[in-house]
Amino acid sequence: MAMKCKPCLRRGVITELPIAWQQSGRFECEDCAETVARKHKWTVVPLHKQGYSAFSREAARDVVRQLNPKRGGL
């Protein structure tokens, strides 16, 4: 059974999802997935001895301040 894109169905458009997308757990068509991804803003911060991590813009500001406490106002 072919699954339909949930955001497209809410708008009244019928878009069938490819089988590979269904198996990976995605429920949006490519256009809707890109629209959702553009709404979220992330900042990638290098953490000492841990590698890189992605934080929301609000949280990243606090994390960067904690990384270098000697520098005051960022």
State whether residue 18 is helix, strand or coil: coil
pLDDT of residue 71: 63
Give the model confidence (pLDDT) of 23-67 as tens digits. 777 778 878 878 877 877 778 888 877 888 888 877 887 887 777
Domain of 30 in residue numbering reads as 6-39
Is there a domain that residue 49 lies in? Answer: no
The count of domains in the chain is: 1
pTM confidence score: 0.43
12 burial via Cβ count (<10 Å: 0-12, 13-18, 19+): exposed
What is the residue-averaged pLDDT of the chain?
77
CA triple 12-17-18, angle to 5 deg? 160
Is there a domain that residue 33 lies in? Answer: yes
